[in-house]
Structure 1
Amino acid sequence: MSLSPLSSPSNPEKVADEAFLRGLPKTELHLHLEGSLEPELMFELAKRNQVTLPYDTVEDVKSAYNFTNLQSFLDIYYKCADVLRTEQDFFDLTYAYLKQCSIEGVVHVEPFFDPQTHTDRGIDIGIVFNGITKALEQGREEFGISYGLILCFLRHLSEEAAFDTLEQAKPYLDHIIGVGLDSSELGHPPEKFERVFKAARDLGLRAVAHAGEEGPTSYIENALERLKIERIDHGVQCTQSEQLMQEIADKQIPLTVCPQSNIRLKVYEKMEQHPILELLEKGLKVMVNSDDPAFFGGYVLQNYLSLAQALNMTREQAAQLAYNSISSSFCGEERMRTMIEELNGYLATA
């Protein structure tokens, strides 16, 4: 597909401010729905479902979000997900996320969800699918936000468990566009799931995977070669290999980067160290996402703002990041063209 070229903002070298960034049409391609569970909704669902939380107040929850690495986050993440029990719960979770997107200039989303987190607790996969997809449909009607849904396999579980999840999902294939791979990266290389990814691709599903967040560059290489993914989720460890960076740039393989997540999980100590704009200038197809915003202190707009504040991101750089997010989506040619036209129209006057 031939994409329309990106127009330059009216004041390209100006550091991007909040008003410009909020109005910037953009997509979000790396968001875990369970990671958008805000503490207030968590307590509401706990009360609704008579679930006892390990926290007494919203403040207690937020104070627990002092992570040292990916695993320290995941330990809390899975505890919090226990409040999600009914179709209405999954609807409320997803709708709350889309409502936030609607005020941050997000025009298309491709969120992840982790069915094994719920089926392992005895929740029927149909309850999960139905709640999420009904909210996505309402979000499209109410906010004009298009979507595609991506089912993720938990990499700390077995390949057999992933195959079982794929089998359970077969009645709902019309609801998803692809599969992904998330959870604990270290010690769980991509090739562990090579066969199940092939089975998913054979069903017509697209493929993405977390690689190179904490794991080595070999995880990125093997995700590309063995899983045949079309997007790399995170991927920031590619900076450890000039050859790999050049390959990713030459092939224009998208990297769904999550700046605030990388800081909160100690991939980098401070935002000033984050390489996303350096990767952008090297020609890599990077973009901005929020990952697990309820846990990491902000949705996609806050991630853009953090780059402007810490790295003096210009309007031109922000526009390129937004363009990358649109052109890397799985939305289809017509919708992509419409979004690019909307972006260019915005840049002509912003």
Structure 2
Amino acid sequence: MIDSLPKAELHLHIEGTLEPELMFSLAERNAISLPYQSVEEVRAAYQFSSLQSFLDIYYAGAKVLQTEQDFYDLTWAYLERCQKDNVVHTEIFFDPQTHTDRGISFGTVFEGIDAALQDGKKQLGISSHIIMCFLRHLSAEDAMNTFAMSKPWHHRMIGVGLDSSEQGNPPRKFTEVFEKARQAGLKAVAHAGEEGPAEYIWEALKELKVLRVDHGVRCLDDDRLVQYLVENRIPLTVCPLSNVKLCVFDSLSDHNLKQMLDRGLCVTVNSDDPSYFGGYINDNFRATQTALGLDNQAVYQLLRNSFNASFLEHSERARHLARLDTLYQELSDD
């Protein structure tokens, strides 16, 4: 059923889709030396003890991305996977500071990604939005400089986000730049409550005024927060395999996604950085359904949530939901 039903993906870092095979191909194209001798050696390095241990290798891998064509090829490879997994709408994150800090222009990054997304719409029928993320381990001033640099492209983005090392970098650090983004007409999302406490989710909501919380699994530590999220229908973009890979949960069977769903939270399933965490969106759905004993009704609710939590225009959202409802009913009747 999971493979057959349409879905939206709302928590996906495009740099985190860099498969080792493409990493080696781009390294050769751009004459860049890698600290690995083979694809197998790269995959063997994907054993993480924390978010930071992942970020270290993540940023190293991004060095192979040099040209507009590189960013196009990276994004197109992800879109081909979307087609395979029946993702009909995606809202992708990109981290400009990862690239501008090493001398790659903002335009090179954005135009390569956007060109692929436009082709994905025309050739594959996959709609998309782009969300520019600020790296929270860098300074608020750096984020503001990046925001200023990005102004020529604001009309082609849907929003801004916040990612990277959560511990010690509370959302309130970026209140000013998020206010600037709102004034520019951009929507706000932020990673909060992954490794950080439930208080960071409150800060993202109150200080950054986010419309969606990325991860948010620590919300269950605060009953008042859960009530607020339910009453205000604030979506949570949960990434189960990522949470296990980064040791947020010891195993998938320990994950609290089902508890979140049972409490009426608008939970969605996403793949985060699938090349590094061992699975794209359908892999996350299948593994989570098995580990937590989710029935088909729960999977269907998660899929509905993915569209309701998206930044799609109302008419487009309604069209996708109607198609999902029809297909689910047909599969249920079989």
Relative to the length of structure 2, the TM-score reads: 0.98
Q: Give 1:244 shift.
A: 1.1
Matched, 1:330 2:311: yes
Matched, 1:317 2:288: no
- In the alignment, the residues of structure 1 paired with residue 30 and residue 164 of structure 2 have an alpha-carbon distance, to the nearest angstrom, of 26
Q: SS at the partner of 2:294? A: coil
Partner letter of residue 46 of structure 1?
A
Matched, 1:225 2:225: no
Matched residues, number: 331
Matched, 1:234 2:215: yes
Summarize deviations over 1:94-130 as a string: whole Å, max 9, x none: 0000100001111100000000000000001000011
Runs of 4+ in structure 1 displaced over 2 angstroms?
Answer: none
Matched, 1:256 2:237: yes
Q: Give 1:143 shift.
A: 1.2
Partner letter of residue 36 of structure 2?
Y
Q: 1:188 aligns with which of 160, 169, 193?
A: 169
- In the alignment, the residues of structure 2 paired with residue 312 and residue 229 of structure 1 have an alpha-carbon distance, to the nearest angstrom, of 31
Matched, 1:129 2:110: yes
Q: 1:144 aligns with which of 125, 142, 156?
A: 125
Q: Give 1:307 shift.
A: 1.2
Partner letter of residue 314 of structure 1?
D
Q: SS at the partner of 1:123? A: coil
Partner of 2:159: 178
- In the alignment, the residues of structure 2 paired with residue 134 and residue 337 of structure 1 have an alpha-carbon distance, to the nearest angstrom, of 27
Partner of 1:339: 320
Unaligned runs of 5+ in 2: none
Give identity over the alignment, percent. 53
- In the alignment, the residues of structure 1 paired with residue 287 and residue 218 of structure 2 have an alpha-carbon distance, to the nearest angstrom, of 20
Matched, 1:118 2:99: yes
Q: Give 1:282 shift.
A: 0.7
Partner of 1:97: 78
Summarize deviations over 1:18-47 as a string: whole Å, max 9, x none: xx1011111000000000000000000000
- In the alignment, the residues of structure 2 paired with residue 308 and residue 227 of structure 1 have an alpha-carbon distance, to the nearest angstrom, of 33
Partner of 2:188: 207
Partner of 1:47: 28
Q: Give 1:249 shift.
A: 1.3
Summarize deviations over 1:118-147 as a string: whole Å, max 9, x none: 000000100001100000001111111111
- Backbone CA RMSD of aligned residues: 0.6
Summarize deviations over 1:281-323 as a string: whole Å, max 9, x none: 1100001000000000010000000112111111100010010
Q: SS at the partner of 1:152? A: strand
- In the alignment, the residues of structure 2 paired with residue 162 and residue 203 of structure 1 have an alpha-carbon distance, to the nearest angstrom, of 15
- In the alignment, the residues of structure 1 paired with residue 22 and residue 155 of structure 2 have an alpha-carbon distance, to the nearest angstrom, of 29
Partner letter of residue 230 of structure 2?
A
Question: Which structure is richer in relative contact order (CA contacts within 8 A, separation 6 or more)?
Answer: 1
- In the alignment, the residues of structure 2 paired with residue 52 and residue 323 of structure 1 have an alpha-carbon distance, to the nearest angstrom, of 44
Q: Give 1:174 shift.
A: 2.1
- In the alignment, the residues of structure 2 paired with residue 51 and residue 193 of structure 1 have an alpha-carbon distance, to the nearest angstrom, of 34
Partner letter of residue 268 of structure 1?
F
Matched, 1:198 2:179: yes
Summarize deviations over 1:69-111 as a string: whole Å, max 9, x none: 1000000000000000000000000000010000111110000
Partner letter of residue 215 of structure 2?
H
Q: Give 1:243 shift.
A: 1.6
Q: 1:158 aligns with which of 139, 146, 157?
A: 139
Q: SS at the partner of 2:219? A: helix
Partner of 1:246: 227
Q: 1:106 aligns with which of 71, 79, 87?
A: 87
Summarize deviations over 1:48-76 as a string: whole Å, max 9, x none: 00011111100110010000010000000
Q: SS at the partner of 2:264? A: coil
- In the alignment, the residues of structure 2 paired with residue 21 and residue 150 of structure 1 have an alpha-carbon distance, to the nearest angstrom, of 26
Partner of 1:293: 274
Matched, 1:62 2:43: yes
Q: SS at the partner of 1:29? A: strand
- In the alignment, the residues of structure 2 paired with residue 126 and residue 173 of structure 1 have an alpha-carbon distance, to the nearest angstrom, of 12
- In the alignment, the residues of structure 2 paired with residue 330 and residue 305 of structure 1 have an alpha-carbon distance, to the nearest angstrom, of 25
- In the alignment, the residues of structure 2 paired with residue 343 and residue 212 of structure 1 have an alpha-carbon distance, to the nearest angstrom, of 30
